[in-house]
Chain A
Amino acid sequence: DQQVKQNSPSLSVQEGRISILNCDYTNSMFDYFLWYKKYPAEGPTFLISISSIKDKNEDGRFTVFLNKSAKHLSLHIVPSQPGDSAVYFCAASPGSQGNLIFGKGTKLSVKP
C-alpha cells in the first residue's frame, strides 16, 4: 500500500506559467516532506522541504504548501522554465535523518 501518492504521472505547462505538482500521503506520523527533481539516469536532487509544523515554505521560484488535515502537499513553481522539465518526486520522512518514502513521481514538461 502506497504511503506517498502522486496521482498525476505527467504534467505539461507553458513557459512562464505556474506548475503545480500534487502529493498525498496516508501516514500522519510523517514529520518532514521533501521534493526532489530527477533527470534520467541521474540521482535525485533536493529542491525544497517542509516540516510538518509549517504550512508553507518558499525558496525562490519554488513554494511548498502543506495541508495536514487533508494529508496533502503541493509544489508550486512560478514562473516555470523549460529547464524545470524533469521528474519530480515527493518524499516523506518518518523521522529526522531517517529513510525517505517516495511517491512514483510526476513528469513535468515545460514548453517554450
Chain B
Amino acid sequence: GAVVSQHPSWVICKSGTSVKIECRSLDFQATTMFWYRQFPKQSLMLMATSNEGSKATYEQGVEKDKFLINHASLTLSTLTVTSAHPEDSSFYICSAPGISRYNEQFFGPGTRLTVL
C-alpha cells in the first residue's frame, strides 16, 4: 500500500513557540491531504483539508491563523502550530487518499506534540 510519513514523530516545545509538522506521501502524489487531531481516548477529529496549490479548508472551530497549512508540492503538506499553548498538546495525524477501489485513506504515523 501507499506510504505516508510524518516528521517529527514527537516534539516537546515551550509555550509560545511555533512547531512545524511535515507530512509526505512517499510513493504517490497527493493533491489533497487531511490533518487530524486526536486527544487521549477520543476520536480522530478532522482539522483541515490541505489542497496542493491552493488554500486549505478548515473545519468549524479550527483557527486558521493558529494552525497554518501549506501544501506546496504534490508530496508534501506542512502543519505549523503557531504560538503553541499547553492545550494544543495532542497527537496530530495526516492522511492522503488512496487510488484503489477501496476508497481508503493512508495515514502517517502521527506526531505527538507536548507543549510545556
**Contact between chains at A99 and B106 (CB < 8 Å):** no
Chain A interface size band reads 20 to 34
**Contact between chains at B102 and A49 (CB < 8 Å):** yes
**Contact between chains at B93 and A44 (CB < 8 Å):** yes
**Contact between chains at A34 and B107 (CB < 8 Å):** no
Chain B residues within 8 Å of A49, by CB: 102-104
A and B contact pairs by CB, cutoff 8 A, 16 listed: A9-B41, A34-B104, A43-B109, A44-B93, A45-B107, A46-B1, A46-B105, A48-B102, A49-B102, A49-B104, A97-B97, A99-B46, A99-B49, A100-B105, A102-B36, A104-B43
Distance between Cα atoms of A19 and B33 in the complex (Å):
32
Distance between Cα atoms of A49 and B103 in the complex (Å):
8
Q: Which of A32, A44, A48, A51 contacts B44 (CB 8 A)?
A: A44
Chain B interface size band reads 20 to 34
**Contact between chains at B110 and A43 (CB < 8 Å):** yes
B108 to chain A, nearest CB (A): 5
Chain A residues within 8 Å of B21, by CB: none
Chain A to chain B: the 10 pairs with minimum beta-carbon distance, closest first: A43-B107, A46-B104, A97-B97, A104-B43, A32-B103, A102-B44, A102-B43, A43-B109, A49-B102, A44-B107
Cβ of B34 under 8 Å from chain A: yes
Given the known A-B contacts A99-B34, A99-B49, A104-B42, are A43 and B93 also in contact in the complex, defined by CB atoms under 8 Å? yes
Chain B residues within 8 Å of A9, by CB: 41
Cβ of A42 under 8 Å from chain B: yes
Cβ of A89 under 8 Å from chain B: yes
Chain B residues within 8 Å of A36, by CB: 107
Cβ of A53 under 8 Å from chain B: no
